[in-house]
Each structure stands twice: as C-alpha cells, then as structure tokens.
C-alpha cells in the first residue's frame, strides 16, 4: 500500500496542476468530454509508473504466497483504479480505462469473497456501477454486454459502505457521493459531504473552493 499510495499522490497532484478536478467537469457529461487538454508532465508520469510497478510487484509477490492477503488485494485494487484514472483523464483512452475498471472490480469481488468486512474494496464496485450508469441507455447496454456493471443504485450503495466504514478510501467515496448529489440536484447533501471533507482536510484548498461554490 505504500508505493500505491505514493502513486496516488503523484497522480492527484498532477490532476490538481491541470485544474481538472473541479466539479463542473463531472456534473455534466458534456463538460467532461470537452475538458481542456493539458500536457502531462513526463517526469511525474515516470514516477507514477515506477510507484505503480513497485506496488504491483510487491502485491503479486504477497498474493503468490497468500492469495487472500487483504493489503495486497487492496493495493491491486488501488493500482487498477489509478491507472484507469490516468488513462481516462490524461490520455483520453476511455476503452483502455474501462478495461482497468473491470479488472479492479474483479479483484474487489475476489477480496470481498474472502473478507466481506474489507469495506474499502466496495469502492471499486461502486465506482464502476455508478459512473457507467450515467451513460446513455444504448451505451449502458453496450457496456453491459461487454461485462461492465452499470447499476446506479448498486453503485451508490457500495460507495456508501466505503464512505461509512472504509479505512483508506472513505474520503474518496464521500467525494464521489458529493458528485452524485450534485448530478441529482441534491445540493444540501453535497454541501454536507464537502463540509465534512473540509473539516477533515483543512489544508485542501480544492474542498474549500468547491464548498464555497455551493
């Protein structure tokens, strides 16, 4: 989980530099698709990939010895999620990103089969179901035929489990739920979730600016 978390730090600092984390890009699908193109920093990408590789190496070695090790499974889930985020938001390679999302969900299901109380693992299932449920009906049908999970309510229920009981990923789950609130015009609920994030992470300027918008 150490190098996987370092990879997350590299990626999200890059997202912050690119100014692509603002809520308006995620509340409307058209805004996301027309998000401004910013050139990625090759040095950051190199460090990101190095940490991902190290995390995968350690996780694979642990899983070879202990196939149900919870930390190794969580690291594998985090790595697929981070790679998916890079592919989608920086490289704009959406099909490749979808493949990583599906791989992460498979690992999450494997983790939960062994550890039903590993609440962080519910994030991957929730994220896939909720995000893909926002596509148009023909696209959801196509994704479903390809093995993707596209159930909005299943997605929200899984995100809530991580938000309420997760150890590592609870703040991220709360952030996704705030986005879901905004997409459904539940501004008061979104404000409440963002207020919690501001209180928990007072040095995070993005949370404060997003709360101020509401």
Region 16-31: what's the mean pLDDT?
71
Q: What is the pLDDT of residues 89-126, one digit of tens each?
A: 888 888 888 889 889 999 999 999 999 999 999 999 99
Place of tokens 């498979």: 106
Closest CA to 74 of 166, 200, 187: 166
The pLDDT of residue 56 is 96
The pLDDT of residue 3 is 97
* pLDDT bucket at 152, cuts 50 / 70 / 90: confident
The pLDDT of residue 139 is 42
Instruction: Indicate whether 140 pLDDT > 90.
Output: no
CB-facing half-sphere around the CA of 167: CA atoms within 13 A? 8
Residues 6+ apart with CB under 8 A from 43: none
Instruction: Indicate whether 47 pLDDT > 50.
Output: yes
Give the global pTM: 0.85
Region 132-144: what's the mean pLDDT?
49
The pLDDT of residue 174 is 95
The pLDDT of residue 25 is 61
Task: Give the burial string for 123-147 (b: 16+ CB within 10 Å, else e).
Answer: bbbbbbbbbbbbeeeeebeebeeee
Q: What is the pLDDT of residues 66-91, one digit of tens each?
A: 999 999 999 999 999 999 999 988 88
Q: What percent of the chain has pLDDT over 70?
A: 84
């Amino acid at each position: 989980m150490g190098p996987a978390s370092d990879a997350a730090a590299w990626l999200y600092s890059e997202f912050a530099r690119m100014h692509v984390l603002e809520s308006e890009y995620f509340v409307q699908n058209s805004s996301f698709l027309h998000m401004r193109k910013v050139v990625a920093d090759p040095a950051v990408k190199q460090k990101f990939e190095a940490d991902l590789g190290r995390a995968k190496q350690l996780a694979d070695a642990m899983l070879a010895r202990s196939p149900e090790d919870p930390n190794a499974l969580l690291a594998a889930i985090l790595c697929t999620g981070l790679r998916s985020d890079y592919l989608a938001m920086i490289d704009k390679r959406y099909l490749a990103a979808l493949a990583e999302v599906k791989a992460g969900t498979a690992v999450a299901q494997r983790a939960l089969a062994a550890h039903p109380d590993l609440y962080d693992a519910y994030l991957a299932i929730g994220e896939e179901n909720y995000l893909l449920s926002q596509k148009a009906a023909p696209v959801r049908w196509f994704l479903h035929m390809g093995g993707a999970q596209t159930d909005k309510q299943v997605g929200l229920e899984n995100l809530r489990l991580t938000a309420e009981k997760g150890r590592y990923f609870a703040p991220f789950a709360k952030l996704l739920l705030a986005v879901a609130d905004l997409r459904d015009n539940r501004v008061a609920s979104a404000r409440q979730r963002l207020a919690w994030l501001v209180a928990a992470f007072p040095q995070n300027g993005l949370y404060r600016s997003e709360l101020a918008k509401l």
